[in-house]
Chains A and B, each alone.
Chain A
């Protein structure tokens, strides 16, 4: 008879067979058998966080920067409810997470036992799928299935709820049969005919544009390579969503910058005026489209996405290619090359006028801002941070708000998986724990959380985690003493009634850093900034950098609510003539 393993042992057997190296978690009564087993599995390292939400975001940072699924281990009740925000965040941004939660023993389920909650019920709408393991026989099958669901198709979070008695129960374990690799083929529903149709559209187009998204990142680094090849083969301009940054080099001339609410003038106008829009792995999010009725009114629209439910969800498209982004782009590139279609040459005349128009938009220099000698402008701070770190392979995470948009606008990414931000859910407090996860995946790399002082306080406790594991993350806080984006909206929409958006009693971040056992740096003069950033980068250990910036700066350019892409506000000087009207207010 083969050896019997406890449920807790089987959990680790499965994790080992899935090549899991790190678990982000927090112990508690209902997962103690699993924690007891941890010591016997040296290939798996547990990272103890300070709050389960931190575990979830750290696992997201780990997953997004490494391409591997993040694994989270939490206890029942509050452990599970605390991780809900991170699961929802991962669901919105398609990040593969496997969350294992403890549950009260089977016979106590439904009795309002201590630390009991309906975990599968609570997490049902924020996971791709979840399981309550009621029988030890199902445990290994469910765990392997959980990894499969999280990582295939459009990735996302899953949760496996394991009652304590199941963790003690014994059964034998056999390694799962290695599934035949389908190379994503089962997910590809496009034909050569579709590819030919697309090439025909590209051939005819006079004003084409690529609009790439997080799907390119999720498809793996190879997809970014394919995308670069495609963009170069065609000579078309390309813009990117917030999540897609890095898939195409941010400093390349064909790149128009980010599009959407705080995107560049040239990207948004090109989206509005184009005659062919090719969406590569993005989902027509409302922060991207602006006013739906006037979204890119004169274009043929093509949508490449792995998730069939993304097609025609918001914007009706003329041609849909359902499949893995990398597979689709490779087919396009192959066809272009085999048919010897040189779009760059044949289209040159047609497109050159388009590029002239784009150059005109570019001269608006929409990311411009008035710099100052006395105050540090937040945009300037991000620009200096970029200039002083661009020669390293730097990983950037962010919190949510103005600083996030400034980071997206002014930090240029040249590689995929270097940019971790909460886009869909917009979770303040994401960046710090995400930086922990990124640093775990890339111990030798420079990891910076570009943060706001309000966001970072939401998950500040994870500094303790960074110190415990010697993770030299840099928390670069653009401190304007306000919830900046809230203040900006209040200025533009609510007659400058800054209701509750000012932080009265901020901590002394240097002392806070020291209390955690890391280094604190403060800068409030533009002349000191470079020196202090260098000091931060060179310090071998975690740093909290309190960068005191101009509290009144707003994030521009901007598409005001209720307006289409071609009606952007450019900056303080243009603001007056473009006031948001009463009706637009309710719609933010």
Chain B
């Protein structure tokens, strides 16, 4: 990159980037996810993870949860640009380290090996609400819900216990207490 101190590049001020969780309520209609995702890719914002599903069948509303990183200015732009999209109803934004909000991701682990290894794998997963979804003599499918970095850690740790396949979701978020997003 040439001299960044120029008329045609972004500001030279290297601002700190933060991880934010953006929650978007949208009309559940064709192409709406493409609009939201296209806005991110078109404007060069990044998406760390994405979770989307309909949450209100009667009003036809889907809820999209996006984990992204950016400077405060970029995060502001993301929110303001999202609000301009016609099918978007409202947008909420939280810092990942916000104590008032719960963030969870889910992961499925397939472990193949002898009983001893599988046992060890299950016990390693215990503190993350482990559920055994499928069980054979040689294998187990374990479901956990945890934070992103905890799942990252588990995928590493379980390798030695015969982890052969990982499937995981994007983060979803909800406020603690009786507060709701607005």
Contact = CB atoms under 8 A, between A and B. Distances in A.
Interface stretch (A23-31, A371-379, A558-566): A558-566
A308 B77 CA distance: 9
Contact of B73 (A125, A312, A583): A312
Interface stretch (A10-18, A283-291, A480-488): A283-291
Contact of B38 (A124, A311, A561, A562): A124
Nearest to A120: B31
Interface in B26-64: 30-31, 34-35, 38, 42
A561 B8 contact: yes
A588 interface: yes
A559 B7 CA distance: 9
B10 interface: yes
B2 interface: yes
Contacts of B42: 125
A125 B38 contact: yes
B31 A309 contact: no
Q: Which of B3, B6, B38, B77 gathers the greatest number of chain A CB atoms within 10 Å? A: B6
A443 interface: no
A588 B34 CA distance: 32
A313 B77 contact: yes
B12 A587 contact: no
Contact of B80 (A129, A132, A308): A308
A561 B2 CA distance: 12
B34 to A, nearest CB: 6
Contacts of A291: 5-7
A202 interface: no
Interface in A562-588: 562-564, 583-588
A162 to B, nearest CB: 15
Nearest to B11: A292
Interface string A277-307: 0000000001001111100000000000001
Contact of B34 (A124, A290, A307): A124
A121 interface: yes
A587 B77 contact: no
Interface residues of A, number: 33
| Chain B interface category by residue count | 20 to 34
Interface string B8-21: 11111100000000
Contact of B8 (A125, A316, A588): A588
Nearest to A559: B7
A128 B34 contact: no
A457 B31 CA distance: 37
A579 to B, nearest CB: 15
Contacts of B175: none
A290 B7 contact: yes
A149 interface: yes
B152 interface: no
Interface string A525-567: 0000000000000000000000000000000000101111000
B2 A292 contact: no
B151 to A, nearest CB: 33
Given A562-B7, A583-B2, A583-B6, A307 B77 contact: no
B4 to A, nearest CB: 9
Contacts of A149: 86
Contacts of A120: 31
B76 A563 contact: no
A561 B7 CA distance: 6
A588 B2 CA distance: 11
A587 B80 contact: no
B12 A293 contact: yes
Given A125-B38, A561-B6, 4 more contacts: A124-B35, A129-B85, A292-B7, A561-B7
Interface of B: 2-3, 5-13, 30-31, 34-35, 38, 42, 73, 76-77, 80-81, 83-86
